[in-house]
């Protein structure tokens, strides 16, 4: 599922509406950036390849044909290419959960202030703009970062990640297990 903005402009919303096949239509799932150009870090690798195959990387040259099956199938981008929305997301969650895992058991007021500021800036600067818009909206909607302790911050991060999981139709993660996943390793010892 492509990123779905909550408060994008009407023009931006039109660009990510999968069902819309109006003249400016890009292949399914391709999202434009604020500069009007396709946003790689907002788009899945399969949609990106579909666009490249269609020659629609420049929005003034847009085909309305359906991408052929072979380019919409799951594809692997070589490891040394810029990230798509999923690779960026996995890397970002790894950073965020690991930050929570190394957060102090009890944070000073300075640490709490800095961490809240970091999360607010993260919500502004995350390169997938539709993801960032929704993340900021989620934080504003009664989900301000809880940063008093490692337990609180880790739980909050898990809830933040679950909000995205739900939006994308994925299974929620059991937040009782966030520390095993991101700090201590699983109890069965497989992480050493
Ligand atoms: C702030 C933010 C907003 C995003 N918004 C969008 C969006 O709008 N649209 C979009 O397409 N993509 C979005 N993404 C990317 C998306 O969340 C996934 O990272 C991406 O789809 C790849 O998913 P994945 O299934 O490989 O695993 P990921 O969701 O990246 O998860 C990585 C690993 O984290 C663990 N995990 C899963 N859930 C939790 C949890 N709740 N708590 C702790 N650990 C967990 C699991 O072990 C999982 O394998 C966003 C990413 C971020 C950081």
pLDDT at position 59 is 46
The whole model's pTM is what? 0.84
pLDDT at position 4 is 52
All structural domains of the chain = 10-72 (no CATH), 85-184 (1.20.120.310)
Please check the confidence at residue 173 and state whether its pLDDT lies above 90: yes
CA of 130 to the centre of ligand 1 (A): 14
State pLDDT tens for residues 3-16: 654 444 444 444 44
Tell me the HSE value of 144 on the side-chain side, using a 13 A CA sphere.
Answer: 6
CB proximity list for 105: less than 8 A, separation 6 or greater:
149, 150, 151
Q: Which residues of 110-136 are buried (b: 16+ CB within 10 A; e: fewer)?
A: eebeebeeebeebbeebbbbbbbbbbb
Q: Which two tokens stand for residue 2?
A: 């492509």
Which residue, 114, 115, 134, is CA-closest to 124?
134
pLDDT at position 41 is 95
pLDDT at position 60 is 41
State pLDDT tens for residues 32-91: 998 999 999 999 999 999 898 887 655 443 333 333 333 333 467 899 999 999 999 999
CA of 128 to the centre of ligand 1 (A): 13
Q: Which long-range contacts (CB under 8 A, 24 or more apart) does 10-13 make?
A: 12/130
DSSP string, 47-97: HHHHHHHHT-SSTTS---SPPPHHHHS-----TTS---HHHHHHHHHHHHH
The average confidence (pLDDT) of the chain is: 84
pLDDT at position 1 is 54
Which of 74, 83, 92, 164 is the pocket-test mutation for ligand 1 (most atoms within 8 Å of CB)? 164
CB proximity list for 71: less than 8 A, separation 6 or greater:
46, 49, 50, 53
* Coil vs helix vs strand at 152: helix
The mean per-residue pLDDT over the stretch 87-111 comes to: 98
State pLDDT tens for residues 17-46: 444 434 456 788 999 998 999 999 999 999
Q: Which residues line ligand 1 (CB under 6 A)?
A: 3, 85-86, 89-90, 92-93, 97, 126, 130-131, 134-135, 158, 161-162, 164-165, 168, 173, 178, 181
State pLDDT tens for residues 110-166: 999 999 999 999 999 999 999 999 999 999 999 999 999 999 999 999 999 999 999
pLDDT at position 54 is 83
Rounded to whole angstroms, the Cα distance separating 54 from 187 reads 49
């Amino acid at each position: 599922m492509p990123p779905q903005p909550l408060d994008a402009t009407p023009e931006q919303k039109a660009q990510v509406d999968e069902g819309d096949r109006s003249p400016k239509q890009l292949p399914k799932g391709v999202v434009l950036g604020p500069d009007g150009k396709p946003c790689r870090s907002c788009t899945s690798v399969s949609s990106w390849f579909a666009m490249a195959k269609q020659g629609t990387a420049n929005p003034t040259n847009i085909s309305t044909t359906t991408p052929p099956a072979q380019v919409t199938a799951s594809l692997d981008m070589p490891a040394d290419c810029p990230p798509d929305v999923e690779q960026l997301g996995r890397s970002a969650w790894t950073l965020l959960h690991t930050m929570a895992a190394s957060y102090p058991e009890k944070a000073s007021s300075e640490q709490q202030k800095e961490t809240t500021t970091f999360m607010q800036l993260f919500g502004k600067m995350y390169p997938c703009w539709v993801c960032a818009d929704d993340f900021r909206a989620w934080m504003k909607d009664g989900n301000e970062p809880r940063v008093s302790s490692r337990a609180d911050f880790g739980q909050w991060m898990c809830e933040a990640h679950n909000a995205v999981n739900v939006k994308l139709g994925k299974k929620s993660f059991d937040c009782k297990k966030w520390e095993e996943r991101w700090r201590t390793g699983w109890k069965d010892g497989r992480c050493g």
